[in-house]
Structure 1
Amino acid sequence: MSSKLKGAKAGYVLALFTLSLAAVLVVTACGASNRNQGGQANLSGSIEIDGSSTVYPITEAVAEEFMNTYPDVNITVGVSGTGGGFKRFTAGETDISNASRPISDEEAAKAKESGVEYIELPVAYDGITVVVNKENDWVDHLTVEELKKIWSPGSKVTKWSDIRPGWPDEKINLYGPGTDSGTFEYFTEAVNGEAKKSRSDYTASEDDNVLVQGVSGDRYALGYFGFAYYLENSDKVKAVPIDGGSGPVEPTAESIKNGTYKPLARPIFIYVNKKSLERPEVKEFVKFYMENAAELVEEVGFVPMPESEYQENLNKIE
């Protein structure tokens, strides 16, 4: 692993512990060893990014590496959730929006009203991971129908025994993303058949670390969040194989990439304001993102897109 990638990973791990303390983090350069790389160190300016907490680790890692090369560029990365990020992006407040789902028709209409034109760039694959406590020794897998039984609006499931006879007659404590989260929207559409339709009596947070802490501290808990956060915390929580109709499948890089982890595998994106691309620092950052994404995406626990996808993204930028 290169020293640059180690630096990116270190920055990512540090950020995970500080996300709950600040809604917006300013990524700072961690060294000047590469400041004169390519003779471009005089590039300056600022870039405003907000949105998905799922996509955040990738963008944070890229931003850190970029600022090692261009220390006079200041990049601010927010974590207000996909929906929250799109609210700012479609109003023209940010240059780039991290998104764990595609932009909605309503959001696209708001962007048009504001005169915001944008480019959609897929950056990685993710798999929404259903997790339970490490001490949970009764759940071997869950079907999509069982997930729907648990999470649908008006669900009558209050105990584990309500899901399957023989499971503990203990209250099931649920943890999941907040309603501004793209993960919430994708999960509810994939499982319940309609985005944002979900029971509301669960512990919700835009900060996935809060969800990890909740499930890891409660034997009878169940939650869901992005695959990278599961990998980062696989010593604290246990992933549940999901049966989407062809038998139980564990979330792995391979099952996410080949689509067998269904219906919870998905692409994740960044959206770039076309007007912002006219600024040299933004265009150079987005190009740098696509040129280094495959390596950095894997480094922070996601599944890279095929190289042809990143090349296509570069073509869109140009």
Structure 2
Amino acid sequence: MKKYLFILTALVILGCSSEESSEVDISNLSSKESLESAKDEISDLKKSLLENEDTIDSFVENISIINENVKNLSDDVLSTQSQLNNLMEENNNLKEENLLLQMSLRNLRTQYETPDIEKSSEKIPSTLIIPPEKEIKDSKDQFPNNTFLNRNNLRIEGSDSVYPYINQALKNYTYKNLNDNDIEITQTGQDEAFEKFLDGEIQIAMASSKWHDREFNQLDAEGINYTQIPISYFGIAFIVNRNNKLECLTRKKLSQIWIEGSNFYTWNQIEQRLSSSQIQFFGHNLDSIISDYFVRDMHTGDMQSKNLRRIVEKQNHTEIISAVNQLFGGFGFIDSAKVNPMVKAIDLTHNWDMNGNPNDCKESNYKNTSNPDSGLPFMWQRVLYVNHDVADKLTYDFLEYYLNNATEITITAEEFITNGEPAYHPYSQLDYDDFWNQIEKDAGNLN
């Protein structure tokens, strides 16, 4: 019995062992299949990775090409802007040369025509020659408020910076008219010229800048009938990028921004609605005439410094315009006559409201240059003053000649001014025509 039990037990153990062995074989087979599958997936991943690497390399190469194209395009734009600036500069120079050439041609024409004029005047019948009394009578009819028309002389005094203009005009006028009129021009101080103007000793006073309120009050108190005529101007324009939303500043605020020790570094410090980007300052060399004029006219108030803050100094207007055009945060100052559409010149005013914001900011400092009463910040004018109470026909003849030729006279005269002042610019001929109309009106011709 025991023998059979032993055999049965052995068979059971053997059966169990065989079953376990079968399970192990099946398990091993399953693991091998999983491993092979994993190997296949890894192989596929490697293949996909290699393909992606090729795609990435191609993408990187394309980006590199695009960057290179953008760089080349940027260089082309900068080159085009530089060429445009140079062309505009050349155009301005050609305009000035053209005016000088026209004036030279006029002088030559006058020179060659003079003998013919002298000969023809000898042949004019005496009945066509207007006697002096007739000229005076006609002038009195034209300017009824004038009581000194029989003097037939002209006295001009004033600033040495205006003298080259009027002296050049007098030379041309005298040569053209071939007359022996009594004309005298003298360089004196502006204050001395005003006193003589007030006393009626001179018909025309030359001023390097507009007279002050106290002078005008004296003229009004004495009942002097006069006209002020701006003959040339120089102004500073403050330019920003065309996309900048800044429109207007007061002279005081602008001075606070540009002065040494200023705490203005970003645009939204100037106005909260503006960008938070940094302000980048550009200007002329600090020892230049235009920088000197800028500092001289700053509204410093209680600020200790009277110097400009640190800026990127440029050699000329073209470089400053180019820099401001390229940089959104650019802020520069240039000669107002050099402003062009590549940048935006902000408006300026002396006035501000209770909160310190600009008030009555309607005209920018390069749009309203011909108005002597505009009082624009950073704008300087050379001015003539005419005393109608002592002016005679000779006075008006000369003024009409001067205003008809003021543009070329201004350009020519500026070449002789070397007293450390910037180059002043002529107005348009339309402006000069308006000045003459004002003279006629003030003299009584249009009333």
TM-score by length of 2: 0.37
Larger Rg belongs to = 2
Higher share in helix = 2
